[in-house]
């Protein structure tokens, strides 16, 4: 066996540190890649944590929102109840909030709140969506005891004077047929009233439900905030 077979060549001796150095570089590169991936994963987790509320945090936020809504509702209810405010949703008069003055006896020309009795004409009106069950009707007191009233196809007269926007309509806004009341020189008895609207010709009023009882007037009405 020759000596050259057992003596390492110069190239193999000099390459050993180089191989070690390359191995170290690869280890460092692997570590850098690992750390970079770990940093990206942490940033992604941080973003998820930032933009996605935790279960407990979201529940607390939701409870605050619900509590705020309930508080606003209760405050609004108390204000309306304390000041006796009511919302008029009917086109008979401008839509908005009106204050009821229950202790004031109305006179001709006053706006009044009227509680419709349980009668077929009013049940049919509810079914047709003219007003909601339990709501007051906002009308104008057009005639009272002793006044002479005529309701005809031409309109409504009180003591011979034609009321504005009082000509009965044949159909309502939904195309349903209307059945106007007919009266000729009818003198209102004690406790009887005529409730009309001079604001809108589409009003559901005495043209269709006739003479009513004064006792069903709950008070006069004064506009507080109109949005029509």
Domain spans, the chain: 9-80, 86-226
Say which residue, 75 or 86, is predicted with more confidence: 86
> Where would I find the H helices in 52-119?
55-83
Find where tokens 């009917």 sit.
Answer: 90
> Is residue 109's pLDDT more than 50?
yes
Q: Which of 17-26, 84-93, 146-155 is modeled with the greatest confidence?
A: 146-155
pTM of the full predicted structure? 0.68
Which superfamily does 86-226 belong to? Umud Fragment, subunit A (2.10.109.10)
Q: Rounded CA gap, 208 and 160, in Å? A: 20
For 2-6, 55-59, 144-148, which range has the lowest pLDDT when averaged over its residues? Answer: 2-6
3-state class (DSSP) for residue 178? coil
Q: Is 2 exposed, middle or buried (0-12, 13-18, 19+ CB in 10 A)?
A: exposed
**How many Cβ atoms from other residues are within 10 Å of residue 125's Cβ?**
18
Residue 45 pLDDT: 56
């Amino acid at each position: 066996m020759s000596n050259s077979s057992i003596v390492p060549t110069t190239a193999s001796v000099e390459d050993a540190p180089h191989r070690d150095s390359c191995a170290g570089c690869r280890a460092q590169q692997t570590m850098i890649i690992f750390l970079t991936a770990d940093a990206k994963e942490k940033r992604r987790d941080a973003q998820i944590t930032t933009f996605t509320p935790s279960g407990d945090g979201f529940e607390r936020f939701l409870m605050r929102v619900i509590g705020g809504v309930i508080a606003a509702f209760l405050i609004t209810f108390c204000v309306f109840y304390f000041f006796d405010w009511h919302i008029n949703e009917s086109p008979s008069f401008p839509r908005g909030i009106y204050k009821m003055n229950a202790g004031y006896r109305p006179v001709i020309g006053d706006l009044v709140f009227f509680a419709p009795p349980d009668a077929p004409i009013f049940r049919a009106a509810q079914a047709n969506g003219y007003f909601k069950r339990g709501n007051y009707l906002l009308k104008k007191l057009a005639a009272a005891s002793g006044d002479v009233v005529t309701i005809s196809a031409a309109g409504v007269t009180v003591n011979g004077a034609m009321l504005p926007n009082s000509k009965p309509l044949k159909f309502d806004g939904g195309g349903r047929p209307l059945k106007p009341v007919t009266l000729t020189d009818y003198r209102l008895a004690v406790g009887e009233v005529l409730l009309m609207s001079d604001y809108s010709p589409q009003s559901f009023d005495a043209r269709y439900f006739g003479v009513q009882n004064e006792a069903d007037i709950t008070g006069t009405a004064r506009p507080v905030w109109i949005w029509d």
